[in-house]
Amino acid sequence: MKHVLFATSNRHKLQEAEIVFSEYGLNVEQWDVKRLEVQSESLEEIARISLAWLMREANPRCPFFVEDAGLFIEALNGFPGPYSSYVFSKIGNEGVLKLMDGVDNRRAVFVSVVAFTDGKEMLVFKGQASGFISHAVKGERGFGFDPIFIPEEGDGRSFAELDVREKNKLSHRARALRKLAEWLTSSKII
């Protein structure tokens, strides 16, 4: 079976990737390594720099990939976007709901960027999920902003009310990972 490493310490992201990859007969293995997290306005730049840093500093087994995601809230001009993990750790879902207090435009987009390398070249794949910020925290599953994000293409449940397979039908990360999986199955790299 074709085998790829996913440099992440997030077991939820790993589980989402395992399910997507299994649809393609691919195997993903966790590489729980400390990554360089630079601040940048661009998720793609963050992912590219993180991948390049691991290639240089961490003596990786290839092929491997990293993934960076962010929640872009329209009424907040795209905030927290690339600063999502910092914002989540400081103010959490309740803090974001407070920022959205009295705001009618609840539109938001989750964006995921996957940066992959076979040890020679770097490839980047993106996925998006459009939706809305809920008025209250809903659901127990998933991680991060899942309890306040209602995907537009869903049935009104938040990401945290979906099981992983349901979330994978709609999520930014599954969409980016499927592009990588499709590329891997059609290339001779692994």
Residue of 74, 85, 99, 126 that binds ligand IMP (CB under 6 A): 85
HEC string for 23-43: CCCEEEEEECCCCCCCCCCCH
Under the binding rule (CB under 6 A), the answer on residue 69 touching ligand IMP is: yes
Q: Under the criterion CB under 6 A, does residue 84 sit at the interface with ligand IMP?
A: yes
Judge whether 68 counts as a catalytic residue: yes
Q: Which amino acid is at 27?
A: N
Determine, following the binding rule CB under 6 A, whether residue 40 of this chain makes contact with ligand IMP: no
Task: Report which residue type is found at 176.
Answer: A
State how far the Cα of 66 lies from the Cα of 73, in Å rounded to an integer.
23
CA angle 81, 85, 15 (to 5 degrees): 105
Residue 161 near ligand IMP by CB under 6 A: no
If binding is defined by CB under 6 A, does position 158 make contact with ligand IMP? Answer: no
Contact residues for ligand IMP, defined by CB under 6 A: 10, 68-71, 84-85, 88, 142-146, 159, 171, 173
Question: What is the set of active-site residues?
Answer: 68
